[in-house]
Amino acid sequence: MGLWDIDKIEYVGREKGPQEGLAFHYYDADKVVAGKKMKDWLRFGVAWWHTFNQELVDPFGTGTAQRPYYKYTDPMDQALAKVDYAFELFTKLGVEYFCFHDRDIAPEGDTLRETNANLDKVVDKIEENMKATGVKLLWNTSSLFTNPRFVSGAATSPFADIYAYAAGQLKKSLEIGKRLGAENYVFWGGREGYENLWNTEMKREQDHIAAFFHMCADYAKEIGMDAQFLIEPKPKEPTLHQYDFDAATAINFLRTYDLTDVFKLNLEGNHANLAGHTYQHEIRVAREAGFLGSLDANQGDKLIGWDMDEFPTDLYETVAVMWEVLAAGSIGPRGGLNFDAKPRRTSFTPEDLFRAHIAGMDSYAAGLLVAAKMHEDHYIEDLQEARYSSFDSGIGATVEDGTATLASLAEYAIDKPQSELIAATKSDHLESVKATINNYIIDALAEA
């Protein structure tokens, strides 16, 4: 049973009925769906910070989590012990990737030099375990938001010493990413924004962080670190306003500062909601602009306006996400689905960590099955094609081939009576579309 006192999680399908908690009902890693194995479409990753470090605190209470490694009271002993627990959890779940911040895996020392030495010890052990298990690093990142030194940001801090420290931290993180063969490297700007605009030079701060990103790209090139760089948009929380607000804002930033060759986006469900979007919207924006990089799989709650980081179980959302992923051909060049998610405070046992990942993995596997069936039938593609068909020929085609002018269009429209214009529009039958998507969910999962 190992360190966690839990057996390897197996795929049992639906034969045992709906209540088999410690087994996969839909996630069948090697099953081929839409031309690829499920595990290669989904590339699940475990988030070190939530799964191993999150104590399930909330603003009103201390942690409720019960974890077997809490018996190691020395921070370094605990950090090293966690590596064993981590790799056993990955292999028992059959998850092939993981992600971490520098601060998740090793305690800080008083100086960057001491901190880096702590990191090296844990990274040695992580590297050994990666070799032994074949589990890979989906991405690593630097925490430039936890320590009080980052109170006013890191690469947008008004304090130059802090900026320099952040750069030093990044240098080390990129070296670790290279050493561990990171597929991606993530930048989430949790404190890169402002609390108040009156004391903020917004453009100056953005110039600074752009320079920071260029330095990171240059250094990665210099040391031969070839991870795909990703910006992870989030509109707010912890700061009042964050500069990488949403996908569209982040893409505009990358274009403004000539960073489009280096960066793509890592998109997160709950962040999308905080920005007033759906997860599907954020993925669509990135996909159509060519910036889809990777996904942080979690969900928010309709009734609560902050970052809940719930494990994703909303099938309607996983279907939408996987529909976009199938349309793109992959999550991203080197992307995966990282569970940036934590069990609820009331799900505090070690076993709940497994249950939560199983729920997330099954929900995305189910989403993949449904979306694959929709793509196979060309249901959405046909519906969209028909909707825009008036642009395939006639006056519409002149718009798309660039020959239309305001005058040519006005000339075409000038004598059209209202009755003809209304006749040119068609009902979307949106309620039927939504009901049909429901039917796809019901039918595809009944067949699974």
Show the binding pattern over residues 299-338: x = contacts ligand XLS (CB under 6 A), - = does not: --------x-------------------------------
Number of residues that bind Ni ion (CB under 5 A): 3
Q: How many residues does the chain have?
A: 448
User: What is the DSSP annotation of 295-306?
Assistant: EE--B-BTTB-S
Asked if residue 268 binds Ni ion (CB under 5 A), the reply is yes
Taking CB under 6 A as the criterion, the residue among 53, 115, 141, 280 binding ligand XLS is 141
CB of 37 to ligand XLS, least distance (A): 26
Binding-site sequence positions for Mg(2+): 232, 268, 271, 296, 307, 309, 340
- Which of these is catalytic: 25, 28, 50, 101? 101
What are the binding residues?
Answer: 232, 268, 271, 296, 307, 309, 340
- CA dist 293 and 244 (Å) reads 15
Task: Based on the shown chain and the rule CB under 5 A, indicate whether residue 244 belongs to the binding site for Ni ion.
Answer: no
Query: Nearest distance from residue 268's CB to Ni ion, in Å?
Result: 4
The three-state DSSP-derived secondary structure of 133-159 is HCCEEEEEECCCCCCHHHCCCCCCCCC
Backbone angles phi, psi at 136, to 5 degrees: -115, 165
# chain residues binding ligand XLS, by CB under 6 A: 10
Q: Among this protein's residues, is 428 annotated catalytic?
A: no
For Ni ion, give the closer residue by CB, 244 or 268.
Answer: 268
Alpha carbons 176 and 276: distance in angstroms, whole number: 35
Angle between helices 350-376 and 430-447 in degrees, nearest 10: 120
Q: What does the alpha-carbon distance between residue 14 and residue 26 come to, in Å, rounded to a whole number?
A: 8
Q: What is d(CA 363, CA 322) in angstroms, rounded to the nearest whole number? A: 11
Residue 104 annotated as catalytic: yes
Tell me if 246 contacts ligand XLS by CB under 6 A: no
Task: Kindly give, in sequence order, each residue whose CB lies less than 8 Å from that of residue 23, ignoring residues fewer than 6 positions away.
Answer: 9, 10, 11, 12, 16, 358
Pick the catalytic residue from 104, 246, 352, 362: 104
State yes or no: residue 296 binds ligand XLS (CB under 6 A).
yes
* Of residues 311-370, those binding Ni ion (CB under 5 A): 340
352 binds, among Ni ion, ligand XLS, none (CB under 5 to 8 A by kind): none
- The binding track of 198-237 with respect to ligand XLS, each residue x by CB under 6 A or -, is ----------------------------------x-x---
Q: How far apart are CA 238 and CA 195, in angstroms?
A: 9
CB-closest chain residue to ligand XLS = 188
Other Cβ atoms within 10 Å of 420 Cβ, number: 10
Complete DSSP assignment for 368-411: HHHHHHHHHTTHHHHHHHHHTGGGSSHHHHHHHTT---HHHHHH
Contact call for residues 41 and 377 (beta carbons, < 8 A): no
Residue 141 contacts which entry, ligand XLS, Ni ion, none (Cβ below 5-8 A, type-dependent)? ligand XLS
- Work out how close the CB of 189 gets to ligand XLS at its nearest, in angstroms, rounded to a whole number: 9
Of 28, 175, 192, 268, the one binding ligand XLS (CB under 6 A) is 268
Cβ nearer to Ni ion, comparing 192 with 296 = 296
Report which of 113, 170, 101 is spatially closest to residue 137, judged by C-alpha positions. Answer: 101
Residue 183 contact, options Ni ion, ligand XLS, none, Cβ 5-8 Å cut-off depending on partner type: none
Q: Which residues bind Ni ion (CB under 5 A)?
A: 268, 296, 340
**Residues catalogued as catalytic:** 101, 104
In the complex, the residues that contact ligand XLS under the rule CB under 6 A are 101, 141, 186, 188, 232, 234, 268, 296, 307, 340
